[in-house]
Amino acid sequence: MIDIRDISLSFGGNKALDGVTFSVEPGETLALIGPNGAGKSTVFNVISRFYRPSAGSVTFGDTDILKLQAHQIAALGIARTFQNIELFENATVLQNLLVGRSARTSSNWAREFFFAGSTRAGERQARRKVEEVLDLLDLQHLRSEIVRDLPYGARKNVELARAVCAEPTLLLLDEPASGLNPEEVADMAFWLQDIREELGITILMVEHNMGLVARLATRCIALASGRVLAHGSVAEVQADREVQKAYLGTAA
């Protein structure tokens, strides 16, 4: 589905990515793990076209992503969430989801957002999709709430819902469990399972919570200091000596 080949990227003298190669297969949930500063978010920012690597290639199906602009990535079928939730804080849950939907169908999201009462066929279809996602992620009761009034866990779920509304084939999740309590992590695991099983969306996630990773990931890749240290099943990667040393190194 997406093929990342030999990408490198430095910030000043700091090599954030150093020849990173991996691919994501259709239908899998691939977890990207590694200590702080390993380069995980930088990989996401390369795929999203926020950062340009100094070397390497990124292809999504037959498309060379590095030839595209950041605003063209959603239309391709790639959606993402952020480490720090990024939503329209003063809009309702429903409005945020409609904006998420329009990221896929139109580059002029503002038109859809401000003229939400229009009866165009695209608008009706968007609303059907949004209702489906509100049901799937248990958000119907919050649909008219203003996002800034919601607790952190609910906002995290709204951000996930916004990404799913774009009907991506590939969903990039940057730390879906961070800041959640154990009960909320369990809910998140259910929702991610539903997204994968009911909607067939392929997931690439950065996550520190190994409980969530062990439960969801079909495969795991460990990064440290901008390099791939290990890949395989979650158990194999956790047992890898180099991976263990990398985590101990940052804890020391």
Ligand X SMILES: Nc1ncnc2c1ncn2[C@@H]1O[C@H](COP(=O)(O)OP(=O)(O)OP(=O)(O)O)[C@@H](O)[C@H]1O
Query: What residues make contact with ligand X under the rule CB under 6 A?
Result: 11, 14, 16, 34, 36-42
- In sign, the C-alpha dihedral spanning 58, 25, 228, 216 is positive
Q: Per-residue b/e over 85-121, b at no fewer than 16 CB within 10 Å? A: bebeeebbbbbbbbbbbbbbbeeebeebeeeeeeeee
Question: Which residue, 88 or 247, is less far from ligand X as judged by CB?
Answer: 247
CB 37, min distance to ligand X, A: 4
Question: Which residue, 50 or 190, is less far from ligand X as judged by CB?
Answer: 50
Question: Which residue, 201 or 222, is less far from ligand X as judged by CB?
Answer: 222
Question: Which residue, 42 or 81, is less far from ligand X as judged by CB?
Answer: 42
Judge contact between 51 and 32, C-beta under 8 A: no
CB 249, min distance to ligand X, A: 14
Question: Which residue, 16 or 192, is less far from ligand X as judged by CB?
Answer: 16
Question: Which residue, 35 or 77, is less far from ligand X as judged by CB?
Answer: 35
Q: Report the distance separating Cα 252 and Cα 124, nearest Å.
A: 55
Query: Would you call 7 exposed, middle or buried from its count of C-beta atoms within 10 A (0-12, 13-18, 19+)?
Result: buried
Residue ranges with strand state E in 92-245: 170-174, 202-206, 219-224, 227-232
**Straight-line distance from the first to the last Cα atom of the chain, in angstroms, rounded to the nearest whole number:** 38
Q: Report the distance separating Cα 105 and Cα 217, nearest Å.
A: 29
CB 32, min distance to ligand X, A: 8
CB 15, min distance to ligand X, A: 8
CB 153, min distance to ligand X, A: 20
CB 39, min distance to ligand X, A: 4
Question: Which residue, 34 or 168, is less far from ligand X as judged by CB?
Answer: 34
In degrees rounded to 5, what are phi and psi of residue 21? -130, 125
CB 227, min distance to ligand X, A: 11
* Axis-axis angle for helices 121-136, 93-105 (nearest 10): 120
Judge contact between 26 and 3, C-beta under 8 A: no
